[in-house]
Amino acid sequence: MDFNDTPEQAAFRASAADWLAANVPTKEETEGLNRLQVAKLWQKRKYDAGWACIGWDPAYGGRGASAIEQVIWKQEEAKYDVPAGFFVIGQGMMAPTLMAYAQPQHLERYLPKLASGEEIWCQLFSEPAGGSDLAALRTKAEKDGDEWVINGQKIWTSGAHYSDFGCVVVRTDPTVPKHKGLSYFFIDMKSPGIEIKPIKQLTGESDFNEVYFTDVRVPDSQRLGEVGQGWQVSLTTLMNERAAIGAGSSGVNVNLAIQLAKEVMIDGKPAIEDSAVKARLANFYVEEAGLKFTSYRTLSALSRGDIPGPENSIGKLVGAPKMQQLASFCMDLLETSGAIWDTSRSKLADNIIGSYMGAPGLRIAGGTDEIMTNIIAERVLGLPQEPRMDKGIPFMDVPTG
């Protein structure tokens, strides 16, 4: 056990830091560009220099870096305010699924452009009738020669409006129980028959969409996994999703809360001296540090070639509610002014209130807290499922409401 860099790791860290210092886009370079444009500019620059998706095979634009080196790179990159969120789904979830199931020519065609940020991918899983019960999805695909024809509706599709491609799970056989009748495809988001409608979130922003499919045609060659194997393929995506979301938790952190507690007063003394404040901060730190070191331990498993397992659900399960509670706590420290969401009056407002307002979404996206808890109970602790009314019943006979 050694939490310090080896000499090789230190050298890698130094070369990453040097490159970042010389290449992070300057204010002048990003002047007049929106976040997506800045993200694409930065991603392409990393790709051209061999610093994009560094864990991937060099044939697809990576540098075959180890899991530890990937963490070192992330730690160094996190020191700069560079946008990254646009590529998380494609690079963190779709790419591992493609690597597991796609044909070699697809990997050559799609992975380099995923790495370079030239093409963005989205994930079309959830439906109005199936959120937590994902496998109850109803969007159907029917075979027509060498193609499939897709009809139905997806929802909560992050980034569909700026995505070039997407992975979609559809029902190809309603006569068998729900998990057995699914298949998994990747599609061109510009295909005729796809209609994208943004959803306005409670934050006022629109990060995700409803996506309607009307007679959308997709070649059979874009199927990942066998017909009827869609659920297993989806699980590969979902496990990577939980790892990707948990690891990428930004927003408020204990360090920020401590700075704040040093500045604001309680009963004439800095809040940081108040024992109730200390107790809360300590508990938040136990979670924050515990998650960090848990992810480090997971690395050792990944370094041996393991795929992310159900124990990764802990990152999102702990991280998302912690973000919500810590943001709420920071607002409480500021008393009434904690509710000011005006960056001209409060420079912390965007971070703190942004976290508070975004956290409810994070607790739901990619599997709710409750589903994450079930996953730990069932797949880590091996406890039995609740009895399921739809078990073993052909999907078309399952009662709906």
Kindly list the residues in this chain that would bind other proteins in the complex (CB under 8 A). 1-6, 9, 68, 71, 254-255, 258-259, 261-262, 272, 275, 277-279, 281-283, 285-287, 289-294, 296-297, 299-300, 311, 314, 317-318, 370, 373-374, 376-378, 380-381, 383-387
| C-alpha of 38 from chain center | 20
Query: In this complex, which beta carbon is closest to other proteins, that of residue 22 or of residue 276?
Result: 276
Query: In this complex, which beta carbon is closest to other proteins, that of residue 250 or of residue 300?
Result: 300
Residue 215 backbone class (left: φ over 0; alpha: ψ -120 to 50; beta: rest) = left
Query: In this complex, which beta carbon is closest to other proteins, that of residue 149 or of residue 258?
Result: 258
Rounded to 5 degrees, φ, ψ at 114 are -70, -45
The span from the CA of 151 to the CA of 236, in Å, is: 24
- Report which DSSP code applies to 131: S
Of 291, 283, 326, residue with least CA distance to 312: 291
The span from the CA of 224 to the CA of 190, in Å, is: 19
* Catalytic residue (one of 76, 119, 127, 241): 241
CB 256 to other proteins: min, Å: 10
Query: In this complex, which beta carbon is closest to other proteins, that of residue 167 or of residue 239?
Result: 239
Cα–Cα distances in angstroms (integers) from residue 152 to residues 49, 85, 129, 149, 343, in the given order: 42, 28, 11, 10, 42
Contacts of 247 (CB under 8 A, 6+ apart): 74, 295, 315
Query: In this complex, which beta carbon is closest to other proteins, that of residue 167 or of residue 318?
Result: 318
Per DSSP, what are the bridge partners of residue 147?
A: 144, 219
Contacts of 394 (CB under 8 A, 6+ apart): 174, 175, 176, 177
CB 82 to other proteins: min, Å: 24
The span from the CA of 87 to the CA of 170, in Å, is: 24
Q: Are 162 and 384 in contact (CB under 8 A)?
A: no
CB 303 to other proteins: min, Å: 9
Q: Are 252 and 330 in contact (CB under 8 A)?
A: yes
CB 296 to other proteins: min, Å: 5
Query: In this complex, which beta carbon is closest to other proteins, that of residue 135 or of residue 314?
Result: 314
Residue 400 backbone class (left: φ over 0; alpha: ψ -120 to 50; beta: rest) = beta
CB 14 to other proteins: min, Å: 15
CB 16 to other proteins: min, Å: 14
CB 216 to other proteins: min, Å: 38
Query: In this complex, which beta carbon is closest to other proteins, that of residue 68 or of residue 182?
Result: 68
The span from the CA of 11 to the CA of 316, in Å, is: 32
Angle between helices 349-362 and 313-333 (to 10 degrees): 140
The span from the CA of 377 to the CA of 336, in Å, is: 40
CB 356 to other proteins: min, Å: 22
Query: In this complex, which beta carbon is closest to other proteins, that of residue 225 or of residue 366?
Result: 366
The span from the CA of 95 to the CA of 110, in Å, is: 9
Task: Report residue 249 as tokens.
Answer: 């938790």
Active site residue 119: no
Residue 120 backbone class (left: φ over 0; alpha: ψ -120 to 50; beta: rest) = beta
- Catalytic positions are 241
